[in-house]
Homo-oligomer: A and B are copies of this chain.
Amino acid sequence: MERTFIADLRQHIGEEVKIQGWLQVLRDQKKMQFLVVRDTTSTVQVAFWKGNDAALAEQISTLTTESALTITGTVVDNPVVKLGGLELQLASLEVNNLAESPMPFEPYGDTLPQLDFRMDWRYLDLRRKENLLLFQVQTTAEFAMREFCQQNRFVEIHTPKIVGAPSESGAELFTIEYFDRKAYLAQSPQFYKQMAMAAGFERVFEIGPVFRADPSFTSRHMTEFTGVDMEISWTQSHEDVMAIQERWLNHIYQRVKDVHGEQIREVFNHEIVVPTLPFPRIPMAEVIQILKQRGYQLPADKKGDIDPGGEREIAAYVKEKYNHDFVFVTDWPITARPFYHMRHPNNPNLTMSYDLIANGLEITTGAQREHRPEILKKQALEKGLHLEPIQFYLDFFRFGCPPHGGFGLGLSRLLMVMLGLNNIRESVFLFRGPTRLIP
């Protein structure tokens, strides 16, 4: 018999079906046994009259919660039952995997252990309905990202994660033993997505891992995360890049709301708000003024950067003034930006760059890139870089590399913001941090 998803049972009233899933609750009464069984689509009540088969009743009474079961039975309309107004009258039971008891914790129990303990038993934690929904939302969001790319002539690329030279300053770099030499883990696909511009691909995107040997333990950092990168040829400034990113995000939010909005309201008590276009844009210099006026003190050592508190404060300002959850902070000083960001022709201390802050959290850095080889080389030297290790990168610009810009977005940060979570460890399949490699 073909397996029927629980969500589809109503189409089979009166029929014998097979369902497969996990035992969420067992109520063993005097004459009846009730099993609440869950699959990825829904939950259903399964009923068994003990008098029908004493041996089977005996077996059911020994079932532990979270065991994996295959059950056949007849679907019966029953308006009294809370779960969908129907129940399944059990005919046969196969125990595919009996859960050990007690479990480290019950995913559908009354109390939820601390995050760190849940991370030790992540696969049990992932059984919670919040987590299944979160990864269903991620799937839909990524599909919407690619759908937009597909409609706009983007090429999907997979750039190497093992690299011979660092793409940024060299800090936060993991070293690999690569046969008889050293290699490194890519901190971003930056150099290689730009190579795709030199290759004439015009528009590319990549969704893949990026690695940062960052020893910090904040609620927004990971040593490995999934980066979403886009790079677009023939942009004239970061404004062109922002214009694409906001349309893209609008499409993603709309799709997630359409598919999961109602369930997100139920499970997370959170409303998906599709951001209106255009997003507000505020130059960095103005942001500093606004923060000052609001009495927010930026740390002195930030070299023109904003700290997380400042990000939340400017987001609060934008929410009050524009009723918008997103804000592009533009035109960052060169001190806070890497050498490959293009500079304003009329103000060489400012880059043509932006950060995107969503609900108070930075989720994107983007920029127009410097594509003129001589200027790029000069900017690298100014930043104190050695040219020899990045010569292969500088070469990309020698034979007709078009002007281009792009951005990178952290997938788990986007999910945090989208679903209103307060720790990135809750929005990633498996967290990696300085002291966390298992499971």
CA distance A12 to B149 in the complex (A): 25
Q: In the complex, how many angstroms separate the beta carbon of A202 from the nearest chain B beta carbon?
A: 5
Q: Is the pair B195, A185 in contact by a Cβ cutoff of 8 Å?
A: no
Q: In the complex, how many angstroms separate the beta carbon of A201 from the nearest chain B beta carbon?
A: 7
Q: Is the pair B430, A398 in contact by a Cβ cutoff of 8 Å?
A: no
Q: Is the pair A97, B185 in contact by a Cβ cutoff of 8 Å?
A: no
Instruction: Judge if A307 is at the interface, Cβ distance under 8 Å.
Output: no
Contact A159:B392 (CB < 8 A) given known A126-B199, A234-B20, A399-B66? no
Instruction: Judge if A294 is at the interface, Cβ distance under 8 Å.
Output: no
Instruction: Judge if A136 is at the interface, Cβ distance under 8 Å.
Output: yes
- Taking a contact as CB atoms closer than 8 A, the residue among B66, B99, B100, B201 that contacts A135 in the complex is B201
Stretch at the interface among A110-118, A138-146, A241-249, A260-268: A138-146
Residues of B within 8 A of A96 (CB): 234, 371, 402-403
Interface residues of A in 175-210 (CB under 8 A from B): 175-179, 183, 185, 192, 195-196, 198-203, 207-209
**Minimal Cβ-Cβ distance residue in B for A142:** B156
CA distance A26 to B55 in the complex (A): 87
Which of A160, A223, A398: most chain B CB closer than 10 A?
A160
Interface residues of A in 213-250 (CB under 8 A from B): 213, 215, 223-224, 226, 233-234
Q: Is the pair A123, B161 in contact by a Cβ cutoff of 8 Å?
A: no
Q: Is the pair B68, A100 in contact by a Cβ cutoff of 8 Å?
A: no
Q: In the complex, how many angstroms separate the beta carbon of A168 from the nearest chain B beta carbon?
A: 16
Stretch at the interface among A74-82, A333-341, A342-350, A431-439: A431-439
Residues of B within 8 A of A372 (CB): 97
- Taking a contact as CB atoms closer than 8 A, the residue among B176, B371, B435 that contacts A185 in the complex is B176
- Taking a contact as CB atoms closer than 8 A, the residue among B5, B22, B149, B438 that contacts A164 in the complex is B438
- Taking a contact as CB atoms closer than 8 A, the residue among B132, B200, B398 that contacts A201 in the complex is B132
- Taking a contact as CB atoms closer than 8 A, the residue among B139, B195, B434 that contacts A439 in the complex is B195
Instruction: Judge if A10 is at the interface, Cβ distance under 8 Å.
Output: no
Which of A39, A67, A158: most chain B CB closer than 10 A?
A158
Instruction: Judge if A278 is at the interface, Cβ distance under 8 Å.
Output: no
Contact A429:B157 (CB < 8 A) given known A68-B400, A215-B179, A400-B22? yes
CA distance A40 to B439 in the complex (A): 44
CA distance A135 to B162 in the complex (A): 21
Interface residues of A in 71-112 (CB under 8 A from B): 96-100, 103
Question: What are 17 inter-chain pairs, A to B, with CB distance below 8 A?
Answer: A67-B400, A68-B402, A70-B234, A96-B371, A97-B371, A97-B401, A100-B398, A103-B399, A126-B200, A126-B201, A136-B155, A159-B430, A162-B174, A174-B177, A175-B176, A208-B208, A396-B439
| Beyond A40-B201, A99-B399, A123-B195, 9 extra complex contacts between A and B, CB < 8 Å | A41-B153, A64-B400, A98-B400, A135-B156, A160-B432, A161-B161, A164-B437, A175-B177, A192-B439
